[in-house]
Amino acid sequence: MMVQVFRVLVLPVLLYDCETWTPMGSSVSSMEIEVVDRTRAAYQTGRSRPLQFRLQQLRALRRLLSEHEATISAALKQDLNKSHFNAQLFELIGVETEIALALDKLSEWAAPRPVQKNLLSMLVDAYIQPEPLGVVLIIGAWNYPWALTLKPLVGAIAAGNAAVVKPSEITQHSANLLKELLPQYLDKELYPVVTGGASETQELLRQRFDHIFYTGSSAVGKLVMEAAARHLSPVTLELGGKSPCYVDKDCDLAVASRRITWGKFTNCGQTCIAPDYVLCEPAIQDRLLQEMQRTLQEFYGDDPRTSPDYGRIVSERHFDRLITLMDDCSVALGGQSDRSELYIAPTILRDVDPSCRLMQEEVFGPLLALVTVNGVDDAIRFMNDREKPLAIYVFSSSKKVIKKVLAETSSGGVTVNDVMMHYTLSSLPFGGVGQSGMGRYHGRHTYDQLSHLRACYVTSPALESFNKARYPPLSHGRLRKARCCLQTWLCSCARASILWVALSSILALGLLVALLVILFKDTSK
Amino acid sequence: MSQEQQVAERTRQAFLTGRTRPLKHRVSQLKALRRFIVEQQKDIAEALQKDLGKTEYGTQLYEMLGLEDEIKVALDHLAEWAAPRPVGKTLLTALDDVYIQPEPLGVVLIIGAWNYPWALTLQPLIGAIAAGNAVVVKPSEVCTHTAKVMEDLLPRYLDKELYPVVTGGASETQELLRQRFDHIFYTGSSAVGKLVMEAAARHLSPVTLELGGKSPCYVDKDCDLAVASRRITWGKFVNCGQTCIAPDYVLCEPGIQDRLLQEMRSCIKEFYTDDPKSFPDYGRIINQRHFQRVTALLEGSMVAIGGDSDESQCYIAPTVLRDVKPEAKVMQEEIFGPVLPILPVSGPDEAIRFINSREKPLVLYIFSSSNKVIKQMIAETSSGGVLANDCLVHYTVSALPFGGVGHSGMGRYHGKCTFDQLSNLRSCLIKTLSMEVVNKMRYPPHTAERLRWARVLLLTRVRLGRLRQLALFALLGVLAAFMYKRFIK
């Protein structure tokens, strides 16, 4: 009886937290655990796998974007002072392109991919079968909160995965809007949106995912990868760094300045692939400044603060950070700021010393440093002394200079004679290297990145005599046979099409012979 | 500065000289590696005999042939792999140069395994050299003789500053993992794989982890049991079961279990004679620790074939267990030894459920004459690779990317895959400074008109393939018209 009393009255008090009545030692914020468990259960029903379902979800996502264009733009305006056009041009068109491509190509991407075989595997089906990975975690960024969160989501859906979407809490209006809208269009159990700050993200990262897709800073990228290591989850890290822009003396400075100015001050410099700083010879620095000043005037008018196309810094923390960066440099253009509006004028700094604060971290703001170098060799040395960036930009009319820079440096991507445009081609795999990231995405590359490319080899019990070469007892003769079978290459066709290839080759050859015969007969007449 | 730190630093300096980049250098190093394999055959085989009881033929077949093939493929295709790879363009970039340029990553760390110490250490090395990297090679210390041969002989053939061999145990490996590499390629267990990835995270180094797990083998009642048994027996007992892609356990219906056992018994006899212990083609367990581990797994299960062992020789007979329960000791970890449990299941559905309730394996084997069953099993499970009606051989097709998923690993290699895995595939867009008028649509002040243009230029894909087809048809039409006029009229 005493045991019963103990069990009923005393034990609960010892084992449970009396204030909240949760089991002792359990995490209070287990919402993330529930969401992940629910998403996994939804994935395991298998409903994300049929192509029809994926296409339907992608179309629904497309409808979301077109039906809510105005509200999305409004949210972006509040978060980053993006104009309606900026929102379209730099966020939504990109996602639309990805959806259109996925809808068009999905059946091709998802189909088995035959591979090249050797003599031994001639009569087998050897192919790569893309499959979903499972549950993907997508952690979005704040500078392009829609593009950088939804583009990976498009690939994740296309690949047949479920996805937990965690938009950045820094752009709150966009995050809240995404949380409200996505469940209205997509399967809410397969693609839940989780909002919250650092602690919610950390809690999410404690859970097990089949892939983690993170866009943000290198510092946090390391933490994401460490967390992923505990579950052996593969990661895609789209990070940042200082993307250099080399301007050769031999180039059309007016055009170069326009393009650089555009790239730098779009979204107030808060772009991972914005040209972070410029390297040029001292002789052209003045001209460069002149052209940039002209361009800024053309783009944003006399007072950028009043231009609807000029953005704002996302938060006070980043504003303060940027103001500090300007401290020990010589401002050639701009420099004005207003904390109440989170406004910093388009600012260009000249003769910047490599040791100054501005050159120690990724700027991520409307401050363009001009660093003088003695020519292309000096510029290459300068770039190679630093971490591999996400992008390198080169402006030159000389093919030789361009080739040299490309051959002697490394980066995630390169655009020559323009900035950022390699991002717009979904056929180009986008991503970093070294500290600027790992993994690639855009277009089919997102699909492949978030798929498991499973090697399949389907043979038959027939032709067992071929296998004698490998069975013990091993001998010289058997070894020779094995060597022969393993090392001869044939075409990479599926079994059925080998026949078609053979037939059509014979037909083509026959026609060629007939043509030659006719021509020969004709000329000999 | 520790020795490992010095080696990593020296290798990086050697890489920074740029001498790994020219294709000629890579080709010469690959040829040197090939010479090494051919000229040092004897020493290599002797070391493997001492480490794992492998015969010379076994060494050739399971280690060296694969390497020779990889080197040949790399030499044949290097120029193609390293060349710029053009990609599709949009209307906006129709006149630009758009391509992916493969580049070296830098310094790669390769941590080899002990079960196929040459294949699993040198195969990634081939791809790393081909991709223009420098490499620190860390062979497994568990196969002591092989590690010694690699350390002594490899530097005589390859550039010793670019491809140093570092030997040592756990603490040397940990010290190496504290250094910064541009890629870490690890083959081994999932437990250590996690530590490798954690270490790599500190430097944001990408990793390729070729891990393991329990690779299931489903034998359908509708299949040629004689052939299936031969292939499974071969796959299981090669290298004494110490193969990451060995069939770990068999699932089959109770009705065919006896027949399966009968066939396997006769296969074992055919391959390894009545006394495998004295037969040269039957290997040994690598060391005492693993011997004890594997023999302990037999506890609680019914031995149908074999079961005997000899600790002094690290010998375990080819052993098959019957009617094994899922909770048995032998089903709790990757066996990595010559013990094959057979678990009865009621059919493919239960087999699929069983497989899916466990971690995704490195490979799934299916033996069935029914395409329907094979298709069903492939569609409803996941694994690094899948092989129907045979064992291990998917590893030999270098065009098939090899690797795991989930706990069985991440990343792929073999053939071109290794090259790509150990390269930086850099996206390049080369524009000219002309045609500036086209860019107007993206510059502020933004207007609806400009936006419309932007949409058209960015969203229209230039289908070169389609254009080429149209051009070809036009040409054929002209040719046909010409032929008609000339010869028929």
* Beta-carbon count within 10 A of A489 CB: 14
- Asked if residue B129 and residue B27 are part of one domain, the reply reads yes
Chain B, 150 to 169: residues with Cβ < 8 Å from chain A are none
Residue B347 DSSP class:
S
- Asked if residue B7 and residue B115 are part of one domain, the reply reads yes
- Asked if residue B119 and residue B252 are part of one domain, the reply reads no
Smallest Cβ–Cβ distance between B201 and the set A229, A307, A413 belongs to A229
Query: Is residue B63 situated within a structural domain?
Result: yes
Q: Is A272 part of the annotated catalytic residue set?
A: yes
Query: Is residue B248 situated within a structural domain?
Result: yes
Give yes or no for a contact between A342 and A321, defined as CB atoms under 8 angstroms apart: no
Q: Residues near A11 by Cβ (< 8 Å), separated by ≥ 6?
A: none
Smallest Cβ–Cβ distance between A474 and the set B281, B445, B447 belongs to B281
Mutate to test the interface with A, among B426, B432, B447, B450 (most CBs of A within 10 A): B426
Q: What is the pLDDT of residue B480?
A: 84
Q: Do B443 and A486 touch (CB under 8 A)?
A: no
B475 to chain A nearest CA, in Å?
16
According to DSSP, the residues that pair with A238 across neighbouring strands are A215, A437
Query: Is residue B430 situated within a structural domain?
Result: no
Query: Is residue B408 situated within a structural domain?
Result: no
Count of domains in chain B? Answer: 3
Domain that holds residue B456: 435-488
- Angle, helices A69-80 vs A51-67, to 10°: value is 70
Q: Do A461 and B228 touch (CB under 8 A)?
A: yes
Sheet containing B134-138: give its strands across: B134-138, B107-111, B183-187, B207-210, B409-410
Confidence of residue B463 (pLDDT cuts 50, 70, 90): low
Q: What is the pLDDT of residue B1?
A: 87
Model confidence over B292-327: pLDDT tens digits?
A: 999 999 999 999 999 999 999 999 999 999 999 999
Q: What is the pLDDT of residue A384?
A: 97
Chain B, 201 to 230: residues with Cβ < 8 Å from chain A are 201-202, 204, 206, 209, 211, 223-224, 227-228, 230
Q: What is the pLDDT of residue A242?
A: 97
- Asked if residue B189 and residue B117 are part of one domain, the reply reads yes
Rounded to an integer, what distance in angstroms lies between the CA atom of residue A487 and that of residue A444?
A: 32
Chain B, 386 to 445: residues with Cβ < 8 Å from chain A are 386-390, 393-394, 396-397, 399-402, 405-407, 409-412, 424-433, 436, 439, 442-445
Residues of A in contact with B429 (CB under 8 A): 413-416, 418, 421-422, 425, 428
Looking at the complex, does the CB of residue B147 fall below 8 Å from at least one CB of chain A?
Answer: no
Residues of B in contact with A161 (CB under 8 A): none
Q: Which of B4, B63, B210, B253 is catalytic?
A: B210
What is the rounded average pLDDT of the residues B204-231? Answer: 96
Looking at the complex, does the CB of residue B87 fall below 8 Å from at least one CB of chain A?
Answer: yes
Quote helix, strand, coil % in chain A, to nearest 5: 50, 15, 35
Q: Do B458 and A234 touch (CB under 8 A)?
A: no
Query: Is residue B407 situated within a structural domain?
Result: no
Q: Rounded to whole angstroms, what are the CA distances from B264 to B315, B321, B351, B438?
A: 19, 12, 21, 72
Q: Which of A203, A238, A291, A362 is catalytic?
A: A238
Q: How far is CA A246 from the centre of its chain?
A: 24
- Asked if residue B186 and residue B41 are part of one domain, the reply reads yes
Smallest Cβ–Cβ distance between A416 and the set B65, B227, B429 belongs to B429
Give yes or no for a contact between A165 and A191, defined as CB atoms under 8 angstroms apart: yes
Kindly state the percentage of chain B with pLDDT values over 90: 81
B174 to chain A nearest CA, in Å?
16
- Asked if residue B235 and residue B144 are part of one domain, the reply reads no
Rounded to an integer, what distance in angstroms lies between the CA atom of residue B200 and that of residue A407?
A: 27
Structure tokens at A282: 């001292």
Q: Which of B244, B314, B391, B417 is catalytic?
A: B244
Q: Do B487 and A518 touch (CB under 8 A)?
A: yes
Q: Residues near A118 by Cβ (< 8 Å), separated by ≥ 6?
A: A485, A486, A487, A488, A489, A490, B396, B397
Q: Do B234 and A309 touch (CB under 8 A)?
A: no
Q: What is the pLDDT of residue A273?
A: 97
- The distance in angstroms from the start CA to the end CA of chain A is 121
Looking at the complex, does the CB of residue B91 fall below 8 Å from at least one CB of chain A?
Answer: no
Q: Is B210 part of the annotated catalytic residue set?
A: yes
- Asked if residue B184 and residue B225 are part of one domain, the reply reads no
Q: What is the pLDDT of residue A19?
A: 42
Looking at the complex, does the CB of residue B459 fall below 8 Å from at least one CB of chain A?
Answer: yes
CATH of the domain at B332: 3.40.309.10
Mutate to test the interface with A, among B210, B405, B432, B433 (most CBs of A within 10 A): B433
Q: Rounded to whole angstroms, what are the CA distances from B52 to A324, A482, B61, B336?
A: 63, 22, 15, 13
- Asked if residue B421 and residue B372 are part of one domain, the reply reads no
Looking at the complex, does the CB of residue B79 fall below 8 Å from at least one CB of chain A?
Answer: no
Structure tokens at A430: 């986008």
- Asked if residue B187 and residue B50 are part of one domain, the reply reads yes
Q: Do A461 and B227 touch (CB under 8 A)?
A: yes
Structure tokens at A10: 């005393």
Query: Is residue B410 situated within a structural domain?
Result: no
Residues of A in contact with B472 (CB under 8 A): none
Residue (of A97, A65, A90, A291) closest to A181 by Cα position: A65
Q: pLDDT tens string for chain A (525 positions)?
A: 665 555 555 555 544 444 444 444 445 458 999 999 999 999 999 999 999 999 999 999 999 999 999 999 999 999 998 888 888 888 999 999 999 999 999 999 999 999 977 666 667 899 999 999 999 999 999 999 999 999 999 999 999 999 999 999 999 999 999 999 999 999 999 999 999 999 999 999 999 999 999 999 999 999 999 999 999 999 999 999 999 999 999 999 999 999 999 999 999 999 999 999 999 999 999 999 999 999 999 999 999 999 999 999 999 999 999 999 998 899 999 999 999 999 999 999 999 999 999 999 999 999 999 999 999 999 999 999 999 999 999 999 999 999 999 999 999 999 999 999 999 999 999 999 999 999 999 999 999 999 999 999 999 887 777 777 788 877 777 777 777 766 655 444 455 566 777 787 788 888 888 888 888 887 776
Q: Is A34 exposed, middle or buried (0-12, 13-18, 19+ CB in 10 A)?
A: exposed
- Asked if residue B362 and residue B248 are part of one domain, the reply reads yes
Rounded to an integer, what distance in angstroms lies between the CA atom of residue B333 and that of residue B331?
A: 6
CATH of the domain at B187: 3.40.605.10
Query: Is residue B223 situated within a structural domain?
Result: yes
What is the rounded average pLDDT of the residues B205-223? Answer: 97
- Asked if residue B177 and residue B42 are part of one domain, the reply reads yes
Query: Is residue B100 situated within a structural domain?
Result: yes
- Asked if residue B387 and residue B307 are part of one domain, the reply reads yes
- The distance in angstroms from the start CA to the end CA of chain B is 89
Q: What is the ipTM of this complex?
A: 0.94
Q: What is the pLDDT of residue A195?
A: 96
Residues of A in contact with B227 (CB under 8 A): 461, 464
